[in-house]
Homo-oligomer: A and B are copies of this chain.
Amino acid sequence: MQEHQTIEKEHDYIPERKKWKRQLFRIIYRADTPLGKLFDICLLILIFISTFIVMLESIPSLDLRFHKFFIALEILISVVFTIEYALRIITIRNKKDYIFSFFGIIDLLAIIPFYLSLFFPFTKFFLIIRMLRMLRIFRILNLMDFMNDGYLIVRALKNSSRKIYIFLLFLIIFSVIVGSIMYMVEGHKEGFESIPQSIYWAVVTVTTVGYGDVSPSTPLGKFFSIILMLAGYSIIAVPTGIVTAEMRNKRQNLEKVCNRCGNDDIDDDANYCKICGEKVVNFKK
């Protein structure tokens, strides 16, 4: 709850004076009215259709047959998104804050490729930008109170990010050194022609992905692979351990502290401190 309010707060603390603006604002930026919910659901559907068009366009056989249909739909959706973007700017008072907010930029990126492609022919390059429209899904889910659990995950990841970065650094240096060794061991065999190639193989192996496009052919190479695989299989425990510990932690950190005995392991539904029996009336965060 608290979270998504912080995100929106920036552009809603000064409500518009004109009534229709306030009403539109509520429909567009809120999901607490039937119309607001309908608006969000329509937007969600449009985002999915838009994403599917980009996908289907990329399939040559479908693009040949439905090219015009896809273009027409894309134009329609882009126009709707443009109107929506305009309405978002009009109905909000603190326009700057919205335009330069994360979702403001995403909203702009959702329409820009269309207008640019009118003047420049390389639509393929705009493709990935059009895909970023998918990120708008999160705003809608956010409004619909769907994201609280998501925030817990993100926060746990954020809090353990430092540990995960260092783990990744270990992993990368480990892969680089192992890849270099394999480059020497497997000589100039196929797939180990250069050190970057060997590092690619090492990462493929240590993460247990194992494409098989590159695999060792000499006995010594296979022996090193076995060590690498066992290492990868064991150290997968490290990120898991980090996030699990953090996740359990989060559950506690978010909760309350007993005023009498200082016990900080108080569940959400507790009336009394389980350690000293003190009534949990007011708690510090």
Contacts and interface: CB of A to CB of B under 8 A. Distances in A.
B219 A196 contact: yes
A75 interface: no
Contacts of A204: 210, 225, 229
A32 interface: no
A72 interface: no
Contacts of A184: 124-125, 127-128
Interface stretch (A5-13, A20-28, A84-92, A267-275): A267-275
Contact of A275 (B195, B206, B240, B275): B275
Interface in A165-200: 166-173, 176-177, 180-181, 183-184, 193-197, 199-200
Given A215-B213, A249-B251, A234 B239 contact: yes
Contact of A244 (B164, B206, B237): B237
Contacts of A279: 277
A55 to B, nearest CB: 5
Interface in A134-180: 134-135, 137, 141, 146-147, 149-150, 152-153, 156-157, 162-164, 166-173, 176-177, 180
Interface residues of A, number: 103
A70 B181 CA distance: 21
A207 to B, nearest CB: 4
Nearest to A187: B124
The 4 A-B residue pairs whose C-beta atoms are closest, nearest first, are A209-B210, A270-B274, A272-B277, A212-B212
28 contacts: A54-B180, A55-B196, A55-B199, A59-B193, A131-B176, A152-B163, A153-B166, A200-B225, A204-B225, A207-B230, A209-B209, A210-B210, A211-B212, A233-B236, A236-B236, A237-B240, A237-B242, A241-B244, A244-B247, A245-B247, A248-B248, A269-B274, A271-B275, A271-B276, A272-B272, A272-B273, A273-B274, A274-B280
